[in-house]
Amino acid sequence: MLPRRVREEKDTQHMADKPGPETPKPDPAAGFRLPDAADIGRSMADVAERSQRIVSEWLKRQAEEGPESPDPLNIGAAFMAMTAKLMANPAHLVQAQLGLWQDYMSVWQSTARRMMGMDTAPVIQADPADRRFKDDAWRESEVFDFIKQSYLLSARFVQDVVSHVDGLDDRSAQKVDFYARQFIDAMSPSNFLLTNPEVLRRTAETGGENLLRGLNNLLADLESGRGKLRIKMTDMDAFRIGENIAVSPGKVVFQNDLIQLIQYAPSTEKVLKRPLLIIPPWINKFYILDLRPKNSLVRWAVSQGHTVFMVSWVNPDAKLAEKDFEDYMREGILEALDAIEKATGESAINAIGYCLGGTLLGATLAWMAAHSDDRIKSATFFVSLLDFRESGELNVFIDEEQLKMLEERMNRRGYLEGSEMATTFNMLRANDLIWSFVVNNYLLGKDPFPFDLLYWNADSTRMPARMHSFYLRNMYQENRLARPGGIVLEGTPIDLGRIRIPAYFISTREDHIAPWRATYCGAHLLSGKNRFVLAASGHIAGVVNPPEGSKYNHWINEDLPEAPEDWLAGAAEMAGSWWPDWHHWVSGHDRRMVPAREPGSGKLKPIEDAPGSYVKLRIS
C-alpha cells in the first residue's frame, strides 16, 4: 500500500512518550539559569555554516527534480468546493460561530472563577488518551488550562463546520475533513514554545540549552533529508539487523532480482508436513514479524512446528523501474513456491500474506486457480485489502491530479522514494508520528528514545515506478481487483471468486491503513470456507500480539454474514492473542508430522545466513 506503514495502536501510540525520561519539576527558588554566551556564539556560528550547506543541497535537489506543483496534494479544489457550499448556507456558519463565541465566554468565566479560588468544571475536556496534554500544568495552571480549552473549542468548531457541509461529494468531504484535522493538530498549543508548560520549564532549567540542542537536531534532520525535513524518531545507531533485531536463525536458500527466500531453522524434533510461506508487504521490511524474540511471529510459528519460509523483498533502485505487479507475482510467490518444493520436497504449502503481501497473494491465488495450480492449500490474510471500496484515509492521497504528479516524479527516478511513503503514513497519525517528535527533539532538545518498532518504521523502502502506478490505479483508484476480470496478470483475467481453498482473515479494529470493514468485504469475494477474526488495536500491534504478552483481545464469529456490523454483533470476545486460534485452524487442515527440516538439507544450498543481505539495503 501507500506508504508507511507505524492512530497505529494503543501500545505503539505510546511511542510518543518513549523519547526520553520525564522532565523533573524545577525548584522555583532556583530561578532561571543564565545561558553561556560563549556556547551560544559557537552554536550560532555552526548553525550558519550548516544552514548554508543545507540550502545548497536543497537547491541542488530542486534542480535535479524540477519544480513542484504549488498544490501537490490537490487540496485547493476541495476547500474551494467546501467554501462555496458554506456560503450557500450562511445561517449554519453563523450559528456555529455564535456557539463558539458563547463557549469562549464560558471559558473566560470559568477561568475567572478559578483565579478567585472557586471550584469550577471545565467547559471542554481533552480526551484522556490525548498525550499532548499529559503535563499536570495543563490542568493545575489557570493560564494553561485556559489556553488548552480555547484550543479544544476552536478545534471542535473547525471540525464541526467542515464535517457538516451539505452537498459536498464524498471524496472532497473526506479530503477536507482530513486536512482540517492536519491543520488542527499543527496548531495545538503543545507545539509552540511559549504555550507549552513543559518546554518553558525545560528552558528555565537549562538556560535555553534545550533550544540550542533542538536547533542542532533540526539541522541534523534537514541535512539527513538534503533540505527536506526528515524527523528522527529513534536512535538509529541502537539497532543492528541480524544482531539485536531480526535474529531468528536460518539461511537464505534462494534469491532472484526481487526476493531472498529465508528458511528458518527448526526448534522442534517434528514439524508439520506442510511448509509455511510468509509474504510480507514490500512497502516495509519483513522483520516486523521477527523484531525481537519475545514478539517474533517467526520464532513462535517455528516453535509450533511450522517450517517457516519468509520472503525478503529487495529495496529497488532505478534498475528495477520496469518491474510490474506481474513480476512481483512471478518472482515473489511463484518462484518461492518452486524453491520451497526443492528445499523440502513438498508441493502442498500454507501461505500468509501481510497487508500488500496479502493483496498480491489474493491475486496470485486467482491466477493459480485459472491455471489449475493448487500448491497453496490454505491462505491467511493479515490486514489485507482485496476490496478497496472503503479503504480509509489513504484515499485522500489518490485522485487523478495527485497520481499524475506522483507518476511524473517516479518516472524521473524510476521509483518512489521511501521517505515520501513514510510521510504519507505518518500524516495518518500526525500527533503520534510527527508533532510529538517536533516537541521532543526540537523544543525540549532531547534525543529520540531507542525504540525497535520506530527503527523499523524509519527503515523505508522504495517502490518501482511501474508496479506502484499499477497498484494505485487498479486497486485504490478503480477497485478492479474486486471485479471478475478487472485486472489481467500474464494474460489471465483475475477472478477472486475462483479461489476455493480455506482462508483465514485477521483484521484489527483500529486499523487506519486497512479498515476492518473493508477487509471483511474482501473475505466475501473468495468462494472457499473462510474464517474472519477481528483483533483489538491496529495495523501493527494487533498483528504482532504474541500469546505470552496477552496484550489485546480478539473477536470470533463462526458465521460470515453479509454486513460487517452483523458479524461484530454476533461475535464473541476472546481473551489474549489470536495466534493460537490461527495455529489451530491452519494445522487442522493437515496434522501430519515429519522430521524437522534443517535449512540446506534439501536440494537448495544456503546462500548466506538469515536475515540475508536484501533486508540490510537502506535508502540514502
Q: CB–CB of 363/279 below 8 Å?
A: no
User: Which pLDDT does position 66 carry in this prediction?
Assistant: 59
In the chain, the percentage of residues whose pLDDT exceeds 90 is 69
Segment 8-30 mean pLDDT: 43
User: Which pLDDT does position 427 carry in this prediction?
Assistant: 87
| Average pLDDT of the chain, as a whole number | 89
Q: Which of 581, 537, 576 lies closest to 558, judged by CA?
A: 581
355 is a catalytic site residue:
yes
Q: CB–CB of 251/610 below 8 Å?
A: yes
pLDDT of 11 strictly over 60: no
pLDDT, tens digit (0-9, with 9 covering 90-100), for 121-150: 999 999 998 999 999 999 999 999 999 999
- Decide: helix, strand or coil at residue 500: coil
Number of folded domains that form the chain: 1
Q: CB–CB of 33/207 below 8 Å?
A: yes
User: Which pLDDT does position 30 carry in this prediction?
Assistant: 46
Alpha helices in 524-616 (DSSP H): 564-569, 579-587
**Is the preceding peptide bond at 611 cis, omega within 30 degrees of 0?**
yes
Give CA–CA dist 63/59, Å, rounded.
6
Q: CB–CB of 290/365 below 8 Å?
A: no
Residue 114 located in a structural domain: yes
Check 355, 366, 398, 439 and give the catalytic one: 355
CA distances from 14 to 23, 97, 346, 600 (A): 17, 35, 43, 41
pLDDT-derived band at 45 (thresholds 50, 70, 90) equals low
Residue 273 located in a structural domain: no
CB neighbours of 13 closer than 8 A, spacing ≥ 6?
7, 129, 131, 429, 432
pLDDT of 613 strictly over 70: yes
Cβ-defined contacts of 221-229 (< 8 Å, 24+)? 221/441, 222/54, 223/50, 223/53, 223/54, 223/57, 225/419, 226/57, 226/58, 226/60, 226/61, 227/54, 227/55, 227/57, 227/58, 227/59, 227/61, 228/58, 228/61, 228/419
Residue 194 located in a structural domain: yes
CA distances from 307 to 262, 278, 597 (A): 11, 11, 7
Q: Is the pLDDT higher at 25 or at 172?
A: 172
Give CA–CA dist 255/607, Å, rounded.
8
Strand pairing of 376-382 and 503-508?
A: parallel
- Decide: helix, strand or coil at residue 434: helix
Residue 68 located in a structural domain: yes
pLDDT of 4 strictly over 60: no
User: Which pLDDT does position 65 carry in this prediction?
Assistant: 60
Q: Give the lowest-confidence range in 74-83, 370-379, 480-489.
A: 74-83
User: Which pLDDT does position 71 carry in this prediction?
Assistant: 65
Residue 18 located in a structural domain: yes
pTM of the model: 0.86
Range of the domain at 452: 12-236+417-458
Residue 486 located in a structural domain: no
Residue 169 located in a structural domain: yes
Residue 124 located in a structural domain: yes
pLDDT of 182 strictly over 70: yes
